[in-house]
Structure 1
């Protein structure tokens, strides 16, 4: 069976569905197909956020949903409401996902909740998948046997505008485990990353792990980042946010 047919069958079995929607490629593709198969009135995309979700991700999520033909709702789950999360523990992802999926399932009521997990998440045993299953969240892309690469390929084949969108991660990953997170520090890093993105680097991470800040971009963009005028601009950007010394990761950002 064609992968889109497999996905369509999985979605039709759900009927009216709430989509756990981050705006990333996987969940946006799932939303696109759900709207195509079920119609916009049967699909409710919900973006669950807290202070660690970058504004650029929120904007992209809203824009992609509108392009698809639906409005994404936003559900706030403040980070300080999640037990122990603000201390940035090693299990922060599980704590956050558990709270977010719990709030989403409660909001959904008797509707099933589906997320954009893929077979890549299964293979890598990502914690979010286990937590989602605890909450009864279903995974249509997994049921359709689609990997991250498959989703990007299908999205590109359909000329979807988000097919090549870079991945995003929560801002808590920019700080060392065990360091208390505060909104001011999160916003400083976020502003620095957005300013560097504006220099023409689609994927940027600014990490404050102790010692000099670590600046990461896509591996292919590292040579351009090392140009003296670009380094000077980055130095100015970081200085505005009270960040002094910095280093560039010579290998670039690698997704785990």
Structure 2
């Protein structure tokens, strides 16, 4: 698969990699830059209230290590009412803003880290990518998530290879609940708190009409007894903005994409 990915990348002209800070785009960025050099590869990283600060720090750290040409940009999605209204295809508007912003800064071919596993999920961002002529080297090389992680280990990327999936913070907000920066800041704070207290394999702080739900992998959820949950709930309540104050706090098993509500078309 490494040879197939190399063949795809070498067939492209100068390119701009959209780097989120996750394992997929980070692995692609490292390999592309090592293969082709920073005269041919530019990294583009967007910052916004929906991007966890540690993702940005990770991108900056690896840019320094690897000698990337890196541009930090504001994609502008928080100025888009379509995005802020949080429809079921919110990701389409997010990626549309991202790719438009990158195109305004560079005429290079835009690359994404989408892999073949993404084709089995609801991914409206791929529609935005198609509209903007974005290329997906992993898809073209037939590479799935497991192979991305294997490549990351092969490239010596250490902890990046095992980095848990962490979609943007807006993905935690139930469809049609408006996206608000203070809400996203609270979500990030809650997830950090739960990680510090319980060290779950997976955690998501979901904002629902019914209140807050802390989703964890089944093992971690089972290990959190009633007293721990009560203590944690009180601490979580102290992190919430006025818009969420007094909302009930519950605990459930993690479900991928559970904030999506409605017809996915």
Same fold (TM over 0.5): yes
Equivalent pair of 1:121/1:129 in contact (CA under 8 Å): no
Q: Does 1:247 align with 2:247?
A: no
Where do 1:1-256 residues align within 5 Å? 3-70=1-68, 72-109=70-107, 111-124=108-121, 126-161=123-158, 162-199=160-197, 200-201=199-200, 203-224=202-223, 226-228=224-226, 230-242=228-240, 243-244=245-246, 245-249=248-252, 251-254=253-256
Contact 2:203/2:254 (8 A) holds in 1: no
8 Å CA contact retained: 2:89, 2:124: no
Name the SS of the counterpart of 2:213 in structure 1: strand
- Aligned with 1:196: secondary structure? helix
Q: How many residues align?
A: 251
Q: Which runs of 5+ in 2 are unaligned?
A: 259-265
Is 2:14–2:41's contact at 8 Å kept on the other side of the alignment? yes
Q: CA RMSD in A?
A: 2.2
Is residue 23–residue 65 contact of structure 1 (8 Å, CA) maintained in 2? no
1:99 to 1:215, Cα distance in 2 relative to 1, 3 A? same
Partner SS for 1:241: coil
Note the residue ranges of structure 1 that are not aligned, 5 or more in a row.
none
TM superposition shift of 1:65: 3.5
3-state SS in 2 of match to 1:84: helix
Contact 1:86 1:180 in 2 (8 A): yes
1:31, CA displacement in angstroms? Answer: 0.7
CA distance in structure 1 between the partners assigned to 2:169 and 2:124 by the alignment = 17
TM-score by length of 2: 0.85
Which ranges of 4 or more aligned residues in structure 1 deviate by more than 4 Å? none
User: How far apart are residue 27 of structure 1 and its match?
Assistant: 0.6
Q: Is the 8 A contact 1:26 1:148 kept in 2?
A: yes
| Cα offsets for 1:220-254 (capped at 9, x unmatched) | 43233x135642442233121235532111x3343
